[in-house]
């Protein structure tokens, strides 16, 4: 049997920094989000893709994939948000198994109210800490880590179909402010 090396201090430090930074960053963001808008991180995670989707509607399956959630978790979360009037469920016309989730006016109001400060928080806690070059460097490393992890089912768009960072601006112009109105972006 092969000798298995423990992690040396340098390696252990990276691994711990990875977990700690994520945990603390998320904790900071969610605390601030909840205080400023009454939305939890889970609420925002669902509302954000819906708010940029055509008509504010997405098929449940696609919503789940876009945020990397399993069905059961998503279904429970949608149920809770439905009770609060943030979203509604609809039938899926093209596939009778499926269902659609639609943003209500209240739901749209909530995300749009929450988004500016949340985006500002992401800038403050993450983006502003790094130069542009460092941002791209970090994204590259993370992409590589993500690239061949043993996926569950969860399909992100195939990278070959969505060649990413280069020339970002024209790929998703809707992510920038349009007509002077700050858009929902996360």
- Binding residues vs DNA (CB under 7 A): 34, 40, 42, 59-61, 64, 69-80, 89, 92, 95-99
For a copy of itself, how many residues bind (rule: CB under 8 A)?
70
Cα 109 from Cα 18, distance rounded (Å): 34
Does 73 bind a copy of itself (CB under 8 A)? Our answer is no
Name which of a copy of itself, DNA, none residue 10 binds, using a CB cut-off of 5 to 8 Å depending on partner kind. a copy of itself
State the Rg of the chain over Cα.
Answer: 19
Cα 7 from Cα 22, distance rounded (Å): 20
Does 34 bind a copy of itself (CB under 8 A)? Our answer is no
Place of tokens 């449940």: 60
- The answer to whether 59 and 98 have CB atoms below 8 angstroms apart is yes
Q: Which is nearer to DNA, 72 or 166 (by Cβ)?
A: 72
- The answer to whether 86 and 107 have CB atoms below 8 angstroms apart is yes
Query: Other CB atoms closer than 10 Å to residue 114's CB: what's the count?
Result: 22
Does 143 bind a copy of itself (CB under 8 A)? Our answer is yes
Does 119 bind a copy of itself (CB under 8 A)? Our answer is yes
Q: Where are the alpha helices (DSSP H) in 38-131?
A: 41-52, 60-67, 71-83, 105-125
Cα 29 from Cα 170, distance rounded (Å): 28
Name which of DNA, a copy of itself, none residue 184 binds, using a CB cut-off of 5 to 8 Å depending on partner kind. a copy of itself
Nearest distance in Å: CB 101, DNA: 8
Name which of a copy of itself, DNA, none residue 139 binds, using a CB cut-off of 5 to 8 Å depending on partner kind. a copy of itself
Cα 62 from Cα 154, distance rounded (Å): 10
Contacts with a copy of itself by CB under 8 A lie at: 3-15, 17-18, 20-25, 27-28, 68, 115-116, 119-120, 122-123, 125-127, 129-130, 134-139, 141-147, 149-152, 154, 156, 164-165, 168-169, 171-173, 175-177, 180, 182-186
């Amino acid at each position: 049997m092969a000798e298995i090396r423990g992690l040396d201090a340098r390696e252990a430090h990276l691994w711990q920094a990875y977990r700690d930074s994520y945990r603390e960053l998320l904790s900071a963001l969610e605390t601030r989000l909840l205080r400023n808008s009454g939305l939890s991180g889970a609420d925002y995670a669902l509302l954000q893709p819906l708010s940029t989707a055509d008509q504010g509607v997405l098929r449940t399956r696609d919503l789940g994939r876009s945020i990397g959630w399993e069905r059961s978790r998503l279904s429970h979360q949608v149920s809770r948000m439905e009770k609060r009037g943030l979203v509604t469920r609809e039938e899926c016309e093209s596939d009778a198994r499926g269902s659609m989730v639609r943003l209500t006016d209240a739901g749209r109001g909530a995300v749009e109210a929450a988004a500016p400060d949340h985006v500002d928080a992401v800038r403050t806690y993450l983006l502003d800490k790094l130069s542009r070059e460092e941002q791209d460097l970090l994204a590259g490393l993370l992409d590589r880590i993500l690239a061949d992890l043993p996926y569950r089912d969860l399909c992100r768009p195939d990278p070959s179909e969505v060649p990413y960072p280069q020339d970002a601006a024209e790929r998703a112009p809707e992510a920038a402010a349009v007509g002077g109105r700050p858009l929902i972006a996360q």
